[in-house]
Every structure is written in C-alpha cells, then in structure tokens.
Structure 1
Amino acid sequence: MSDSSIEAQFAPDIDTRWAGEFILEARLLEIPGHRIGDSLSEVNSHCRDADEDAAKAFGDPAEYARVIAAQTSTAPTRWVSLMGPVLLQIVGVVLALQGVGGLVTGIVHPLTWSGLAMLVGLAGGVLLLAFALSRSLGIIVRRPLIGAVLVGVAGALLFAGPYLLLTIESPPLPVTAGIILACGITFMVVGIGLDIRKGRKTDDPISAPGIAPRRSRMKYLTAGTSIAWLLLGATTIILFAPR
C-alpha cells in the first residue's frame, strides 16, 4: 500500500520523521504553505541526487525550519478574530437551547439575568483562551504533557466561572422564548457563515510546483459541531424536560 502522507507526497526520498518534524516546526513558525512545500522539494531533490541523508545534509529539522522562517515573510495568526465566529456559535447554541427549553416547558421568559452574565463570562473566557493560545501554542505542541495541563486548566477556568454565575438566582429577562430562540439561531447562522468564510481565507495548504495541494476541511468542523450540539440538546430537552 502506498504512503499517502504529506511527507511522502512532498519528500518521498527522505526520512519521513525528519520531514514531519520540519513541517510541524514550519507550521508553528507560520511559514506559508507554498514555502514549506518548496523547501521540502528542495531537500528531497538534494538528498536524492546526492544520495545523502536529510539530517546530515540539512541538520536538525526544527533548526532548518527556523532558518527558512528567517528568510520568509510571515503573518502571525490573529487568534482573537479567528475565535470570534466560534464564540458566536457557542452563544447561539446556548441561546437557542434556552429558547427551546422555554417553548417546551411553557416558561415565557426562560433567560435570567444570571444566564446573561454567564454568556458574557463565557465570551470573555473564549477571548482569553484565544489570547493564551497565541502565546503558548508552541509549548502545547512541543511539550504534550505541559500542554495537556495547560489546556485542562484553561478549560476548567473557561467553564467554571460562567457555571457559577448561572447558579445565582436572579429575575428573568423580559424576552420571550421565541425571540431568544430566533436570536440564538441568528447568532449560529452568522457565526457559521463567518467561520466558513474565514476558513477559506486562512486555508494555507502545503503546495509545490507540480504537486496538487490538499485542501483542509477543518473549516466545516466547528459548524458541524455546533449544529450537532444544538440538535442533541434540543432533542434531550424535548424528550425529557418537565412539562
């Protein structure tokens, strides 16, 4: 069976581990995809023609990626703007489920002031997470154990604060369940649209002359996840919520 990995596609004649470490470091350094592909093709051509090992000819792959990055114009990822559409979808799902719950249970005003505070806290948590990612992504990827701890702590803080706000008793907002549901769906649709549009703009596949790039479908992942959570939550509420 042929190897269909990116390493084999762009550098079939060199050690796949060397190529993989180079690609990982190059992505962390935000080297454009076409430059990564060109560099891999150049390394592959040299090693094939000279019958030489990549590590011997070009040294440590991470260090070689840093050399390429120093010679290349790069644009840093704007994590806050990247997470904006995700935030809209999260808020949309929460509002839509609040609306569904109100319609099913007969509660005219299902969203409380503490629920609104929870949404504001959740939004702030997502933005803080985006800022943290922009500062620590390299550590998370290069040090998986430390990364797991950081992600776990960030996740706990992200959800613990808003949950505590939700437990505070407060009067309901004077907004009907139908309007809340409509607002939630609107937030979701806008967030999904922005997410897919931004995904098309930021999709930067590895490419090289004569080699077709592999387009990523990750831009549809968040949208699919949001829709799945909404359907699952709405089904659960409809089946099990007290009337």
Structure 2
Amino acid sequence: MTDRSLEAEFAPDIDAQWAGDFILEARLLDVPGDRIGDSLNDVNTHCRDAREAADIAFGDPTEYARVIAAQSTPSTTRWLPLLGPTTLQIIGVVLGLHGVGGWVTGNAHPLTWSTGAMLIALIGGVSLLSVALSRSLRAIVRRPFIGALLVGVAGALLFAGPYLLLLIETPPLPLPTGLVIALGITILVIGIGLAVATARTGNVDDPISAPGIAPRSRREKYLVAGAPLAWLVVGATLIILFAPR
C-alpha cells in the first residue's frame, strides 16, 4: 500500500481537517490506536452513506474525540521505551568511534571521565524528557508557541549539559581500547534490537488501526532503527582513513 496520510487512509470520504483534528485530540486524550481507527471508520461510513459532512453529523471533532475518550480505556504513551533505544544507539556509536579512534592513534585508554559523565548525563536527560513529555505533551500541543519555546529550551539543556562536560579535561578511564569497541558494538546492537522489536510489535507506539485496513509497512521503522549502524561504519572508516597517527 502506498504511503498516504492517516486522514486519507482511514476516512477518505470526509473532510481531512475534521479527521486530522479528531486524530490529534484523541491522541492527546490517550485514546487507543485501534479505537481511533474504528471511530474514524464509523464516521467515514456514516458520512459516505448518508451524504452528510462530518461536522454536521458528529459536530466539532475535538468534542467528538472527548466523547470517544470517555468511552475508552486510556492507552498512555510510554516515552522511555520510544526514546530509550535511540539513546542506546547514540551511546553505542559514541563508544565505538572513541574505541576506533583509540585503536588508530594508539591510545590505550580512549575514554575520559568527562566522556563517561557525558553519556550518563545523556541517559538522565532522556529519562527526564520522557517524564516531561508524558505529563505535559497535551499542554505543549495546545499552546504551540509556548510549547515550541519550552521544547527548544529543554532540547538546549539536554544537549548543552553533556557537551559542556566534554570540554572538561579529565584523566582517562581505565578501559582498554578493545573493551571500549566491544562495549560500543554491544550497546548499539541492543539499541537496534529494541528498536526493531518496537517496530515489529507496535506495542509501544500504539499505531492507529481498523478492521479491513492493512497495517502500514514497517520498512521505514526498520531503516531508522538500523541507521546508527551505518553512522558507526562511516565514522569508523573516516577515522581510519584520516585520523593522525
């Protein structure tokens, strides 16, 4: 099936703006994906058969989403399982490239304490971000300007803290180059495995679905999950070719 918008996929016979507003509000109210798909399918069928517009037959899309939410069991998005695999992949790439750099330059201990602190700070920042998104995503989306400002500040703090730690000169960690490379590859493979498992099961991201509508291809998710491996290979190749000996 070709890639189409959710509105066209689940409700091709009604106004796309109405369907989009309904999907957004239902998502913010933690309506399960299959319930959203079923509801859109029902709205589309009624409007097509009765030749009525969705706003005439079902009213305001946000109000209708709230009605559906009141009749559904919430399906809260778990942000840490979504962000965690990517974080592990980043850590794996960082460790792997440091290890390769140490191997090429002859540095027996390529990691410093500041690098280790940076990676720990990254893990802590992602964990805090997961909690913040779980508690405030609705407010951020409903107030776009304030939401964009808060997300920008949070993103800056998330990456500025670990970056500043890298600027601090500290002694090397007592980890040999071979172990650093092995740790990097292991953590990267674990992150890719978790990302692929998430894409395969769909239990974490709760995709919108409905009977009779084929699920979307997970090929893009698999490609995204495996992209960090390409980063490691390309980065390691550049280090081997151009790093000073």
What is the TM-score normalised by the length of structure 1? Answer: 0.89
1:99–1:110 contact (8 Å) kept in structure 2: yes
User: Could you tell me how far 1:98 is from its partner in structure 2?
Assistant: 0.7
User: Could you tell me how far 1:3 is from its partner in structure 2?
Assistant: 10
Q: Which amino acid aligns with 1:224?
A: G
2:200–2:218 contact (8 Å) kept in structure 1: no
Q: Please point out which of 226, 233, 236 is paired with 2:235.
A: 233
Evaluate the alpha carbon distance shift between residue 149 and residue 91 of structure 1 in structure 2; reply closer, same or farther with a 3 A threshold: same
Query: Any unmatched runs of 5+ in structure 2?
Result: none
Evaluate the alpha carbon distance shift between residue 52 and residue 144 of structure 1 in structure 2; reply closer, same or farther with a 3 A threshold: same
Q: Which amino acid aligns with 2:69?
A: A
1:1-243 matches, within 5 Å, as: 4-201=4-201, 202=203, 204-217=206-219, 219-220=221-222, 222-243=224-245
1:97–1:230 contact (8 Å) kept in structure 2: yes
Deviating above 6 A after TM superposition, structure 1's stretches of 4 or more consecutive aligned residues are: none
Q: Deviations over 1:190-215 (max 9, x none)?
A: 11111211333325333333322324
1:205–1:216 contact (8 Å) kept in structure 2: no
Evaluate the alpha carbon distance shift between residue 25 and residue 232 of structure 1 in structure 2; reply closer, same or farther with a 3 A threshold: farther
Q: Which amino acid aligns with 1:109?
A: H
Distance 2:46 2:106 in 1: 71
1:86–1:222 contact (8 Å) kept in structure 2: no
Higher alpha-carbon deviation: 116-125 or 50-59 = 50-59
Higher alpha-carbon deviation: 168-177 or 207-216 = 207-216
Distance 2:122 2:221 in 1: 22
Distance 1:48 1:231 in 2: 52
What is the TM-score normalised by the length of structure 2? Answer: 0.88
Q: Which amino acid aligns with 1:9?
A: E
- Same amino acid, percent of matched pairs: 69
Q: Which amino acid aligns with 1:236?
A: L
Q: Deviations over 1:102-125 (max 9, x none)?
A: 011111111111211111111111
Q: Deviations over 1:146-193 (max 9, x none)?
A: 333223212211111112212222211121111101100000001111
Q: Deviations over 1:7-27 (max 9, x none)?
A: 233222211111121122222
1:13–1:47 contact (8 Å) kept in structure 2: yes
Evaluate the alpha carbon distance shift between residue 55 and residue 145 of structure 1 in structure 2; reply closer, same or farther with a 3 A threshold: same
Q: Which amino acid aligns with 2:235?
A: G
Distance 2:237 2:141 in 1: 37
Distance 1:237 1:140 in 2: 41
Higher alpha-carbon deviation: 4-13 or 98-107 = 4-13
Q: Which amino acid aligns with 1:106?
A: G
Q: Which amino acid aligns with 1:213?
A: P
Evaluate the alpha carbon distance shift between residue 219 and residue 30 of structure 1 in structure 2; reply closer, same or farther with a 3 A threshold: farther
Q: Deviations over 1:62-81 (max 9, x none)?
A: 22111101101122122223
User: Could you tell me how far 1:218 is from its partner in structure 2?
Assistant: 5.2
Partner of 1:39: helix, strand, or coil? helix
User: Could you tell me how far 1:219 is from its partner in structure 2?
Assistant: 3.4
Higher alpha-carbon deviation: 115-124 or 136-145 = 136-145
Query: Any unmatched runs of 5+ in structure 1?
Result: none
Query: C-alpha root-mean-square deviation of aligned residues, in Å?
Result: 2.3
